[in-house]
Amino acid sequence: MLVHPWDAPLDEAEWRAVLDRHPFGVLTSVGLVDGWPVSVPTQFAVAAPDQVLLHLARPNPFWRALQADDRVLLTVATDWAYIPSNWKVAPGEDPRMGIPTTYYAAVVLAARAQVIDDPADKAEVLRSQLAAVQPDVQVADPVEHGRTLDGIRGLRLAVDHVRAKLKYGGNADDAHRAVVAAHLAGRDGPGDAAALAHLRRRHPYE
């Protein structure tokens, strides 16, 4: 992922906040299955600054990929909003000459994956995930599900490095950002409010 200086996180807390708000991503293997990498959409829990926990079904082909190589990428891409070409135009400019783009936040964790098969340890993975996604809901402890635990395997990702990008008009001037912001405020797309909040926070304009 290319990260221009103007799209880089302001600090570590900024990209961690993205993961906290969006604990669902795509896990991709470096190891191959039948000559191809494997990608799995999955929920996850950040268990420590450099550790992520998750689980997958036992029949998942991802386990075969890990046998070849334990390196993985966990990618979260969110808060996206398409910016049409005629939005990228300041007053007095030709709207036909605007250049469209997409605003988005993305975090890519490069990690080593450790398989967790011990039932007690798998139960702890599930507890961590449940605490992250539904902390106020009463649930049976995972060990009470008995043999159901046999149907999953846990994964502990030891994060080696992180690349993060928050692309919200950092290469534009205040005049163009203000026009885009006004359009975002008037549109009710799924990511518009989040994109507008990122733009205003990262690049305050008059």
Give pLDDT tens digits for 119-166: 999 999 999 999 998 999 999 989 888 888 999 999 999 999 999 999
pTM for the model stands at 0.93
| Residues 71/154, Cβ–Cβ less than 8 Å | no
d(CA 52, CA 177) in angstroms, rounded, equals 35
Number of domains in the chain: 1
- Strand-pairing partners, residue 113, are 157
| Size (the chain), residues | 206
| Residues 89/179, Cβ–Cβ less than 8 Å | yes
d(CA 175, CA 111) in angstroms, rounded, equals 40
Q: Which residue has the higher pLDDT, 55 or 133?
A: 55
CATH number of domain containing 126? 2.30.110.10
Q: Does residue 1 register a pLDDT over 90?
A: yes
The packing angle between helices 192-202 and 174-186, to 10°, is: 150
| Residues 168/179, Cβ–Cβ less than 8 Å | no
Predicted local distance difference test score (pLDDT) of residue 6: 97
Q: What is the mean pLDDT of the chain?
A: 95
State pLDDT tens for residues 174-197.
999 999 999 999 999 999 999 999
Query: Which domain does 179 fall in, by range?
Result: 5-202
Predicted local distance difference test score (pLDDT) of residue 170: 95
d(CA 114, CA 160) in angstroms, rounded, equals 13
pLDDT band at 28 (very low <50, low <70, confident <90, very high): very high
